[in-house]
Structures are given as structure tokens and as C-alpha cells.
């Protein structure tokens, strides 16, 4: 009698947890549906924009990896970043024909990086880079985000020296 009771419990558990569906009579399980019985809803075709022309004006976002399209690297030896403390960004590209200096940097946690145009002469253009750190003991998230800081110049950089200086 105990063997019969245990068998009934095991069969009941197998029927409930095994995914089989009992039929109306005799307790026989039906087979799962075949792939020919499964239907999927129709997928609408992709929509196309009404205009094939790209939008005019400046690009809405810049890529976060590599040199953005249209940007160029300054000439070798054209950047003087000797005044920047360690850890300050000094990765630079030029956009809009040298009229915009773009500082590429990684911000981490509560750090915040800013860049602004400084003094410009016929020989050099100064960009002031400021890194703001969180107060000591403040909890900050542990993540890094890539930022591009565009700094417009009064005139294209051309052959002038680009000097990066720390801000306060």
C-alpha cells in the first residue's frame, strides 16, 4: 500500500512539474505542440524616413571612441601641456577647420572636467582645463564616462601653439 501511495505522489508531481498536460480521461499526457502548430505574429516592414537627405546643421552627438569624423589631430609638437598636473586630460583634436579645440577626457565618479578658451595671440592659443574633485570623504559612484569638451577659438588654430593650462 505504501508503494502505491508513493507512486501516486510521484506521478502527480511529474504531471504538475513536468510540463505535460493531462487529458480529460485516463490521465494520459498529450505531446507538446509541434513547430508547425506554433504561429508567430507578423512583423511589420521597417519604416523609411520621408526624406532621404541628412538633416542640416551641426551633428547632434559625437562618437565616444576614436577621432570623430571631420576632426583632425594637431601637428606634432603643436600642443604644450607641460603646465598640466598629472591626471589632467591632454588628448586633443581640432574640429571645424581648427576653429574648435576638442578636449577628450574620462570623468570618473564625482570628478567634473571643464575647458574654456583663454588668451589668444598670433603665436599661441590657451585653453584652460579645470578638474573639480569631490570633497574628501564624499561617497561617489565608481564609473567612468567619456566626455568631449569643445572649446571655440576666436580664430582657427592654424600654425599657432596650443597651450593647455590648469584652471582653478
Instruction: For residue range 134-158, list pLDDT tens digits in order.
Output: 888 889 888 889 999 999 999 999 9
Q: Which of 68, 144, 94 is nearest to 127 (CA)?
A: 94
Of all residues in the chain, the percent with pLDDT exceeding 70 is 60
**Phi and psi angles of residue 77, each rounded to the nearest 5 degrees, phi first:** 80, 5
pTM exceeds 0.75, yes or no = no
Residues 151 and 116 sit within 8 Å (Cβ to Cβ) = yes
pLDDT of residue 61: 54
Element (H or E) spanning 115, and its range? strand 112-120
Q: Is residue 131 over pLDDT 80?
A: yes
Residues 71 and 95 sit within 8 Å (Cβ to Cβ) = yes
- Give the tens place of pLDDT for each residue, 25-45: 544 555 555 555 555 556 555
For 105, the 3-state DSSP assignment is: strand
Amino acid at each position: 500500500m505504501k508503494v502505491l501511495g508513493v507512486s501516486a505522489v510521484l506521478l502527480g508531481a511529474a504531471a504538475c512539474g513536468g510540463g505535460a498536460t493531462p487529458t480529460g480521461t485516463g490521465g494520459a499526457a498529450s505531446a507538446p505542440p509541434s513547430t508547425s502548430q506554433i504561429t508567430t505574429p507578423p512583423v511589420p516592414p521597417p519604416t523609411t524616413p520621408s526624406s532621404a537627405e541628412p538633416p542640416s546643421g551641426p551633428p547632434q552627438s559625437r562618437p565616444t571612441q576614436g577621432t570623430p569624423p571631420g576632426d583632425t589631430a594637431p601637428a606634432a609638437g603643436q600642443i604644450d601641456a607641460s603646465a598640466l598636473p598629472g591626471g589632467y586630460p591632454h588628448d586633443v583634436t581640432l574640429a571645424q577647420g581648427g576653429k574648435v579645440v576638442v578636449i577628450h577626457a574620462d570623468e570618473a565618479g564625482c570628478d567634473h572636467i571643464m575647458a574654456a578658451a583663454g588668451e589668444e595671440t598670433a603665436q599661441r592659443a590657451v585653453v584652460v582645463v579645470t578638474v573639480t574633485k569631490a570633497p574628501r570623504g564624499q561617497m561617489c559612484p565608481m564609473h567612468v564616462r567619456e566626455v568631449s569638451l569643445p572649446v571655440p577659438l576666436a580664430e582657427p588654430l592654424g600654425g599657432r601653439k596650443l597651450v593647455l593650462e590648469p584652471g582653478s
